[in-house]
Amino acid sequence: MRAALRETETNLGPGTKVPTCPVGTEGFSRGTAGIGERRGSRAESAVKRLLFVPDSSEKGGCPVADDATTYKIFHVSIAVSALRCLLSYVVFPILTPLLGAATNAGPVIGLPIGVVALCFDVMGIRRFWLSDHRWKWPMTGLYAAVMSLVSVLLVGDIVHLA
């Protein structure tokens, strides 16, 4: 196998030779992505445009958010969404009739909490994309599911108030 390796001149110094691939690669075109860079798919480009996330070339190649901030925003946004669901499905249907509160209290309180939850969810998704986190696609799916549930609750609250 060693005999099959061709040696080539390099810029390591005069006379320095390193082995190269035994298969000729002259017919292959080189991609534009360098070492450590990843080429994004069209879906990734679309999500970045939707979330106003700059390309790595626009932000100097440095991530805008660190992992600690990303996880903090994730926990807060999921907690606010969970609070919204807890209020809608447990507190308002069970406790408000027991306390004799008005039946419109749930939607009146749930509407602003739902809007805040959606804002935090968008911030959380954006933070994952800004940090170019390796879990950005699974977290985007999770956030999309949570946002769908909260949106259904918001529509229900709006219909109930109308």
Query: Distance between CA 93 and CA 90 in Å, rounded?
Result: 6
Give me the mean pLDDT over the 137-151 stretch. Answer: 92
Residues whose CB falls within 8 Å of the CB of residue 126, separated by 6 or more in sequence, listed in order: 51, 52, 53
Q: pLDDT-based confidence at 37, cuts 50/70/90?
A: very low
Residue of higher predicted confidence among 88 and 147: 147
Residues whose CB falls within 8 Å of the CB of residue 22, separated by 6 or more in sequence, listed in order: 4, 5, 6
pLDDT in tens, 1-22: 444 444 444 455 566 555 555 5
DSSP state of 54: P
Residue of higher predicted confidence among 45 and 65: 45
> pLDDT at position 89, please?
77
Instruction: Report domain extents, the chain.
Output: 46-161
Instruction: Report the percentage of the chain scoring pLDDT > 90.
Output: 15
> pLDDT at position 137, please?
93
| pLDDT at residue 23 greater than cutoff 80 | no
Query: Distance between CA 121 and CA 140 in Å, rounded?
Result: 9
User: What's the CA angle centered on 113, arms 124 and 144, to 5 degrees?
Assistant: 40
- 71, with CB counted inside 10 A (0-12, 13-18, 19+), is middle
Whether this prediction's pTM lies above 0.95 is answered by no
> pLDDT at position 94, please?
78
Lowest model confidence (mean pLDDT) among 74-83, 95-104, 107-116, 136-145? 95-104
What are the residue ranges of helices labelled H in the chain?
42-50, 67-86, 96-99, 105-130, 136-161
Residue 85's alpha-carbon distances to 9, 49, 92, 122, 152, in angstroms, are 66, 30, 10, 17, 11
